[in-house]
Protein backbone atom coordinates (compact mmCIF):
# COMPACT_ATOMS: atom_id res chain seq x y z
CA UNK A 1 0.00 0.00 0.00
CA UNK A 2 1.29 3.45 -0.87
CA UNK A 3 1.93 6.05 1.80
CA UNK A 4 0.41 9.44 1.04
CA UNK A 5 0.35 12.75 2.87
CA UNK A 6 -0.87 16.22 2.03
CA UNK A 7 0.80 18.90 4.07
CA UNK A 8 -0.61 21.76 2.04
CA UNK A 9 -3.45 22.38 -0.39
CA UNK A 10 -4.00 25.51 -2.43
CA UNK A 11 -6.22 28.45 -1.55
CA UNK A 12 -8.09 30.20 -4.38
CA UNK A 13 -7.67 33.92 -4.87
CA UNK A 14 -9.79 35.71 -7.45
CA UNK A 15 -10.48 32.46 -9.29
CA UNK A 16 -7.08 32.40 -10.99
CA UNK A 17 -4.17 32.35 -8.57
CA UNK A 18 -3.69 29.75 -5.86
CA UNK A 19 -0.99 29.88 -3.23
CA UNK A 20 0.53 27.52 -0.69
CA UNK A 21 0.89 27.97 3.05
CA UNK A 22 3.52 26.01 5.01
CA UNK A 23 1.90 23.23 6.99
CA UNK A 24 3.97 23.98 10.08
CA UNK A 25 2.35 27.41 10.24
CA UNK A 26 -0.94 25.67 10.90
CA UNK A 27 0.19 22.87 13.21
CA UNK A 28 -2.72 21.14 14.85
CA UNK A 29 -5.38 22.38 12.46
CA UNK A 30 -6.23 21.77 8.79
CA UNK A 31 -4.32 23.74 6.17
CA UNK A 32 -6.29 26.43 4.30
CA UNK A 33 -7.80 25.26 1.03
CA UNK A 34 -7.60 21.56 1.93
CA UNK A 35 -10.95 21.08 0.16
CA UNK A 36 -9.10 21.44 -3.17
CA UNK A 37 -7.16 18.21 -2.61
CA UNK A 38 -8.24 14.72 -1.70
CA UNK A 39 -5.98 11.77 -0.95
CA UNK A 40 -4.60 11.62 -4.48
CA UNK A 41 -6.11 14.46 -6.54
CA UNK A 42 -6.30 18.25 -6.57
CA UNK A 43 -8.79 20.34 -8.53
CA UNK A 44 -8.40 24.04 -9.26
CA UNK A 45 -11.33 25.99 -10.68
CA UNK A 46 -9.47 28.00 -13.32
CA UNK A 47 -10.49 29.01 -16.86
CA UNK A 48 -8.67 27.72 -19.95
CA UNK A 49 -5.17 29.09 -20.23
CA UNK A 50 -1.57 28.37 -19.30
CA UNK A 51 -0.58 27.98 -15.64
CA UNK A 52 2.61 27.69 -13.63
CA UNK A 53 2.48 25.03 -10.93
CA UNK A 54 4.94 25.03 -8.04
CA UNK A 55 4.92 21.95 -5.85
CA UNK A 56 6.80 20.98 -2.72
CA UNK A 57 7.15 17.25 -2.12
CA UNK A 58 8.47 15.33 0.85
CA UNK A 59 7.52 14.37 4.40
CA UNK A 60 8.72 12.87 7.67
CA UNK A 61 9.54 9.60 5.94
CA UNK A 62 11.27 8.97 2.62
CA UNK A 63 8.93 9.68 -0.30
CA UNK A 64 8.67 9.43 -4.07
CA UNK A 65 6.05 11.60 -5.77
CA UNK A 66 4.92 12.04 -9.35
CA UNK A 67 2.21 14.27 -10.81
CA UNK A 68 -0.01 13.82 -13.82
CA UNK A 69 -2.90 15.96 -14.92
CA UNK A 70 -5.78 16.63 -17.26
CA UNK A 71 -6.01 13.84 -19.84
CA UNK A 72 -3.34 11.53 -18.35
CA UNK A 73 -0.46 13.90 -19.11
CA UNK A 74 2.77 13.23 -17.22
CA UNK A 75 3.75 16.56 -15.69
CA UNK A 76 6.35 15.67 -13.06
CA UNK A 77 8.40 12.45 -13.07
CA UNK A 78 8.70 10.50 -9.84
CA UNK A 79 10.76 12.70 -7.52
CA UNK A 80 12.42 11.17 -4.46
CA UNK A 81 12.82 13.09 -1.21
CA UNK A 82 14.79 11.71 1.76
CA UNK A 83 13.06 11.51 5.14
CA UNK A 84 12.52 14.95 6.63
CA UNK A 85 13.44 16.84 3.45
CA UNK A 86 11.37 18.97 1.07
CA UNK A 87 12.03 19.36 -2.65
CA UNK A 88 10.51 22.10 -4.81
CA UNK A 89 9.68 21.58 -8.47
CA UNK A 90 7.86 23.77 -10.99
CA UNK A 91 6.22 23.13 -14.33
CA UNK A 92 3.84 24.88 -16.71
CA UNK A 93 0.60 23.26 -17.86
CA UNK A 94 -1.86 23.98 -20.64
CA UNK A 95 -5.54 23.93 -19.62
CA UNK A 96 -7.98 23.70 -22.51
CA UNK A 97 -11.31 22.34 -23.71
CA UNK A 98 -11.40 19.57 -24.83
CA UNK A 99 -8.67 18.71 -22.34
CA UNK A 100 -7.38 15.77 -24.38
CA UNK A 101 -7.84 14.96 -28.05
CA UNK A 102 -9.43 17.88 -29.96
CA UNK A 103 -12.25 15.73 -31.32
CA UNK A 104 -12.75 13.88 -28.02
CA UNK A 105 -14.92 14.62 -24.98
CA UNK A 106 -14.58 18.00 -23.29
CA UNK A 107 -13.41 16.55 -19.98
CA UNK A 108 -13.79 18.41 -16.69
CA UNK A 109 -13.48 22.20 -16.38
CA UNK A 110 -10.46 23.62 -14.59
CA UNK A 111 -7.13 22.03 -13.76
CA UNK A 112 -7.06 18.50 -12.36
CA UNK A 113 -3.86 17.05 -10.96
CA UNK A 114 -3.28 13.49 -9.79
CA UNK A 115 -0.64 12.71 -7.19
CA UNK A 116 1.16 9.42 -7.73
CA UNK A 117 4.45 7.70 -7.20
CA UNK A 118 5.59 4.77 -5.07
CA UNK A 119 5.42 6.78 -1.83
CA UNK A 120 3.71 10.10 -2.59
CA UNK A 121 3.88 13.07 -0.23
CA UNK A 122 2.62 16.48 -1.31
CA UNK A 123 3.88 19.19 1.03
CA UNK A 124 2.86 22.32 -0.85
CA UNK A 125 1.32 23.59 -4.06
CA UNK A 126 0.86 26.92 -5.78
CA UNK A 127 -0.85 27.58 -9.13
CA UNK A 128 -0.64 30.93 -10.92
CA UNK A 129 -1.43 32.10 -14.43
CA UNK A 130 1.71 31.91 -16.58
CA UNK A 131 2.74 35.30 -17.92
CA UNK A 132 5.54 34.55 -20.36
CA UNK A 133 5.29 30.86 -21.14
CA UNK A 134 6.35 29.49 -24.48
CA UNK A 135 4.06 26.89 -26.01
CA UNK A 136 5.06 23.73 -27.83
CA UNK A 137 2.09 22.83 -30.03
CA UNK A 138 1.84 19.24 -31.22
CA UNK A 139 0.14 18.40 -34.50
CA UNK A 140 -0.10 14.66 -34.95
CA UNK A 141 -1.98 11.39 -34.79
CA UNK A 142 -2.66 8.65 -32.22
CA UNK A 143 1.03 7.94 -31.67
CA UNK A 144 1.43 11.51 -30.40
CA UNK A 145 -1.91 12.38 -28.77
CA UNK A 146 -3.12 12.42 -25.17
CA UNK A 147 -4.55 8.90 -25.18
CA UNK A 148 -7.67 8.69 -22.97
CA UNK A 149 -7.10 5.26 -21.44
CA UNK A 150 -4.59 2.64 -20.35
CA UNK A 151 -2.51 0.99 -21.59
CA UNK A 152 -2.18 3.43 -24.49
CA UNK A 153 -0.01 6.54 -24.41
CA UNK A 154 1.23 8.95 -27.08
CA UNK A 155 4.71 10.43 -26.85
CA UNK A 156 3.20 13.90 -26.66
CA UNK A 157 1.41 12.81 -23.49
CA UNK A 158 4.75 12.06 -21.85
CA UNK A 159 6.71 15.07 -23.14
CA UNK A 160 5.57 17.59 -20.45
CA UNK A 161 7.43 15.75 -17.67
CA UNK A 162 10.71 16.68 -19.37
CA UNK A 163 9.98 20.41 -19.29
CA UNK A 164 10.37 22.91 -16.48
CA UNK A 165 8.46 26.11 -15.73
CA UNK A 166 8.29 28.44 -18.73
CA UNK A 167 7.50 25.92 -21.47
CA UNK A 168 4.22 24.06 -21.81
CA UNK A 169 2.91 21.43 -24.22
CA UNK A 170 -0.38 22.09 -26.02
CA UNK A 171 -1.07 18.68 -27.52
CA UNK A 172 -3.50 18.97 -30.43
CA UNK A 173 -2.66 15.57 -31.89
CA UNK A 174 -5.75 13.50 -32.64
CA UNK A 175 -6.31 9.80 -33.29
CA UNK A 176 -6.82 8.71 -36.88
CA UNK A 177 -5.70 11.94 -38.53
CA UNK A 178 -3.75 12.29 -41.76
CA UNK A 179 -2.36 15.47 -43.29
CA UNK A 180 -5.57 15.61 -45.35
CA UNK A 181 -8.01 15.26 -42.45
CA UNK A 182 -6.01 17.46 -40.08
CA UNK A 183 -6.10 20.36 -42.51
CA UNK A 184 -9.75 19.75 -43.38
CA UNK A 185 -11.29 19.41 -39.91
CA UNK A 186 -12.22 22.80 -38.34
CA UNK A 187 -11.59 21.34 -34.88
CA UNK A 188 -7.96 20.76 -35.79
CA UNK A 189 -5.71 23.02 -37.90
CA UNK A 190 -8.26 25.84 -38.13
CA UNK A 191 -8.39 25.81 -34.32
CA UNK A 192 -4.66 25.45 -33.67
CA UNK A 193 -3.32 28.00 -36.13
CA UNK A 194 -4.90 31.12 -34.54
CA UNK A 195 -3.47 30.11 -31.14
CA UNK A 196 0.14 30.19 -32.33
CA UNK A 197 2.11 33.16 -31.05
CA UNK A 198 5.49 34.48 -32.18
CA UNK A 199 8.21 32.22 -30.84
CA UNK A 200 6.00 29.20 -30.22
CA UNK A 201 7.17 25.84 -31.53
CA UNK A 202 4.86 23.66 -33.61
CA UNK A 203 5.95 20.03 -33.95
CA UNK A 204 4.25 18.21 -36.83
CA UNK A 205 4.21 14.40 -37.02
CA UNK A 206 1.58 13.18 -39.49
CA UNK A 207 2.13 10.06 -41.60
CA UNK A 208 0.61 6.92 -40.07
CA UNK A 209 -2.83 7.60 -41.54
CA UNK A 210 -1.75 8.99 -44.91
CA UNK A 211 -2.14 5.48 -46.33
CA UNK A 212 -3.86 6.63 -49.51
CA UNK A 213 -2.28 10.07 -49.87
CA UNK A 214 -0.18 10.50 -53.00
CA UNK A 215 3.26 12.05 -52.74
CA UNK A 216 2.38 15.40 -54.33
CA UNK A 217 -0.57 15.90 -51.99
CA UNK A 218 1.39 14.79 -48.94
CA UNK A 219 4.22 17.18 -49.75
CA UNK A 220 1.82 20.06 -50.41
CA UNK A 221 0.01 19.44 -47.12
CA UNK A 222 3.25 19.54 -45.16
CA UNK A 223 4.21 22.77 -46.90
CA UNK A 224 0.79 24.25 -46.05
CA UNK A 225 1.31 23.46 -42.37
CA UNK A 226 4.82 24.94 -42.41
CA UNK A 227 3.61 28.12 -44.11
CA UNK A 228 0.69 28.47 -41.70
CA UNK A 229 2.97 28.28 -38.67
CA UNK A 230 5.39 30.83 -40.09
CA UNK A 231 2.60 33.24 -40.98
CA UNK A 232 1.72 33.33 -37.27
CA UNK A 233 5.33 33.95 -36.26
CA UNK A 234 5.83 30.43 -34.92
CA UNK A 235 8.68 28.00 -35.51
CA UNK A 236 7.65 24.85 -37.41
CA UNK A 237 9.50 21.63 -36.67
CA UNK A 238 8.89 18.60 -38.88
CA UNK A 239 9.02 15.22 -37.12
CA UNK A 240 9.32 11.95 -39.01
CA UNK A 241 6.93 9.26 -37.66
CA UNK A 242 7.81 6.67 -35.04
CA UNK A 243 8.44 3.25 -36.54
CA UNK A 244 6.02 0.36 -36.41
CA UNK A 245 7.46 -2.61 -34.56
CA UNK A 246 7.56 -4.86 -37.62
CA UNK A 247 10.73 -6.92 -37.87
CA UNK A 248 12.16 -8.42 -41.04
CA UNK A 249 13.64 -11.91 -40.94
CA UNK A 250 17.14 -10.45 -40.52
CA UNK A 251 16.17 -8.73 -37.25
CA UNK A 252 15.96 -5.23 -38.72
CA UNK A 253 13.06 -2.91 -39.47
CA UNK A 254 14.10 -2.49 -43.09
CA UNK A 255 10.66 -2.85 -44.64
CA UNK A 256 7.86 -0.56 -45.78
CA UNK A 257 5.47 -1.43 -42.97
CA UNK A 258 7.93 -0.53 -40.22
CA UNK A 259 9.28 2.55 -41.98
CA UNK A 260 5.97 4.08 -43.07
CA UNK A 261 5.95 3.58 -46.81
CA UNK A 262 2.30 3.61 -47.88
CA UNK A 263 0.46 1.48 -50.42
CA UNK A 264 1.20 3.98 -53.19
CA UNK A 265 4.91 3.71 -52.51
CA UNK A 266 5.13 7.08 -50.77
CA UNK A 267 8.07 7.04 -48.36
CA UNK A 268 6.70 9.39 -45.70
CA UNK A 269 9.93 9.94 -43.74
CA UNK A 270 11.83 10.66 -46.98
CA UNK A 271 9.24 13.25 -48.07
CA UNK A 272 9.34 14.90 -44.65
CA UNK A 273 13.13 15.11 -44.79
CA UNK A 274 12.91 16.58 -48.28
CA UNK A 275 10.38 19.25 -47.29
CA UNK A 276 12.43 20.14 -44.21
CA UNK A 277 15.54 20.64 -46.33
CA UNK A 278 13.75 22.56 -49.08
CA UNK A 279 11.87 24.88 -46.69
CA UNK A 280 14.74 25.17 -44.17
CA UNK A 281 12.66 23.71 -41.36
CA UNK A 282 14.25 22.03 -38.32
CA UNK A 283 13.88 18.25 -38.54
CA UNK A 284 13.53 15.69 -35.77
CA UNK A 285 14.18 12.35 -37.43
CA UNK A 286 12.15 10.27 -35.01
CA UNK A 287 11.94 7.45 -37.54
CA UNK A 288 15.70 6.98 -37.43
CA UNK A 289 15.86 7.41 -33.65
CA UNK A 290 13.07 4.96 -32.87
CA UNK A 291 14.36 2.46 -35.45
CA UNK A 292 17.74 2.42 -33.74
CA UNK A 293 16.18 1.95 -30.31
CA UNK A 294 13.76 -0.80 -31.35
CA UNK A 295 16.44 -2.72 -33.24
CA UNK A 296 18.84 -2.43 -30.30
CA UNK A 297 16.24 -4.02 -28.00
CA UNK A 298 15.46 -6.79 -30.45
CA UNK A 299 12.31 -8.74 -31.19
CA UNK A 300 11.51 -9.59 -27.57
CA UNK A 301 12.88 -6.58 -25.72
CA UNK A 302 11.07 -4.08 -27.94
CA UNK A 303 7.65 -5.53 -27.14
CA UNK A 304 7.54 -3.48 -23.92
CA UNK A 305 7.66 -0.24 -25.93
CA UNK A 306 4.48 -1.11 -27.81
CA UNK A 307 1.25 -2.87 -26.95
CA UNK A 308 2.34 -6.13 -28.52
CA UNK A 309 1.51 -8.27 -25.52
CA UNK A 310 -1.56 -6.33 -24.38
CA UNK A 311 -3.34 -5.82 -27.71
CA UNK A 312 -1.17 -7.33 -30.47
CA UNK A 313 -0.58 -3.73 -31.46
CA UNK A 314 2.83 -2.88 -32.94
CA UNK A 315 1.97 0.70 -33.87
CA UNK A 316 0.81 2.31 -30.63
CA UNK A 317 3.07 2.71 -27.63
CA UNK A 318 2.81 1.80 -23.98
CA UNK A 319 3.59 4.36 -21.28
CA UNK A 320 7.12 2.99 -21.26
CA UNK A 321 7.49 3.36 -25.01
CA UNK A 322 5.88 6.79 -25.15
CA UNK A 323 8.14 7.98 -22.34
CA UNK A 324 11.23 6.70 -24.13
CA UNK A 325 10.18 8.33 -27.40
CA UNK A 326 9.34 11.61 -25.66
CA UNK A 327 12.86 11.51 -24.25
CA UNK A 328 14.23 11.26 -27.78
CA UNK A 329 12.20 14.34 -28.77
CA UNK A 330 13.44 16.16 -25.66
CA UNK A 331 17.04 15.40 -26.61
CA UNK A 332 16.53 16.72 -30.15
CA UNK A 333 14.89 19.92 -28.89
CA UNK A 334 17.97 20.60 -26.79
CA UNK A 335 20.53 19.50 -29.38
CA UNK A 336 18.96 21.71 -32.04
CA UNK A 337 18.66 24.64 -29.62
CA UNK A 338 14.90 24.81 -30.10
CA UNK A 339 14.32 25.27 -26.36
CA UNK A 340 16.69 26.72 -23.75
CA UNK A 341 18.58 23.97 -21.93
CA UNK A 342 17.54 25.38 -18.57
CA UNK A 343 13.87 24.68 -19.31
CA UNK A 344 14.44 20.95 -19.86
CA UNK A 345 14.77 18.14 -17.33
CA UNK A 346 17.63 15.85 -18.27
CA UNK A 347 18.01 12.26 -17.09
pLDDT tens-digit map of 311-344 = 999 999 999 999 999 999 999 999 999 998 889 9
Cβ distance 269 to 242 under 8 Å? no
- The per-residue pLDDT for range 39-80, each reduced to its tens digit, is 899 999 999 999 999 999 999 999 999 999 999 999 999 999
How far are the Cα atoms of 144, 194, 267, 299, 330 from residue 323, in angstroms, in the given order?
A: 11, 29, 26, 19, 10
Scanning the chain, the segments in alpha helix (DSSP H) are 155-158, 179-184, 189-192, 215-231, 268-279, 286-301, 308-311, 319-335
Around Cβ 195, how many Cβ atoms within 10 Å?
Answer: 15
SS3 state at 81: strand
Q: In whole angstroms, what is the distance from residue 184 CA to residue 182 CA? A: 5
Cα dihedral sign, 76-94-171-221:
negative
Cα dihedral sign, 298-300-305-306:
positive
The values of phi and psi at residue 114, to 5°, are -120, 130
Q: What is the mean pLDDT of the chain?
A: 90
- The per-residue pLDDT for range 259-301, each reduced to its tens digit, is 999 999 999 999 999 999 999 999 999 999 999 999 999 999 9
**Run of H or E including 305:** none
Using CA atoms in the order 100, 105, 109, 111, what is the torsion angle rounded to 10 degrees? -20
Q: In whole angstroms, what is the distance from residue 347 CA to residue 342 CA? A: 13
Q: In whole angstroms, what is the distance from residue 53 CA to residue 63 CA? A: 20
Q: In whole angstroms, what is the distance from residue 103 CA to residue 64 CA? A: 35
pLDDT tier for residue 347 given thresholds of 50, 70 and 90: low
Q: What percent of the chain lies above the pLDDT cut of 90? A: 85
Cα dihedral sign, 330-335-337-342:
positive
**Could you tell me which residue, 134 or 35, shows the higher pLDDT?**
134
Cβ distance 21 to 29 under 8 Å? no
Of 300, 222, 219, 288, the closest CA to residue 260 belongs to 288
pLDDT of 36: 76
Of 71, 99, 73, 42, the closest CA to residue 161 belongs to 73
Would the pLDDT of 220 be above 60?
A: yes
Around Cβ 269, how many Cβ atoms within 10 Å?
Answer: 21
Q: In whole angstroms, what is the distance from residue 169 CA to residue 155 CA? A: 11
Q: In whole angstroms, what is the distance from residue 238 CA to residue 240 CA? A: 7
Q: In whole angstroms, what is the distance from residue 138 CA to residue 148 CA? A: 16
Cβ distance 141 to 239 under 8 Å? no
Q: In whole angstroms, what is the distance from residue 265 CA to residue 274 CA? A: 16
Amino acid sequence: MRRFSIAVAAAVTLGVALSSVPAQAHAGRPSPGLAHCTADTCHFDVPPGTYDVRVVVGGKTASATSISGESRRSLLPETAAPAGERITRSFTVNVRTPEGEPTGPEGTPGLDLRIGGSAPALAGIRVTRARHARQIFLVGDSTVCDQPGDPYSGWGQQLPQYLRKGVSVANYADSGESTVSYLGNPQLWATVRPLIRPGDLVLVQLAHNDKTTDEATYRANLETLVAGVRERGGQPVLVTPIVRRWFSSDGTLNNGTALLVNGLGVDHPAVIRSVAAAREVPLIDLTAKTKALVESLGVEGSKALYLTNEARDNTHTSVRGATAYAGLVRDELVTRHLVPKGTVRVG
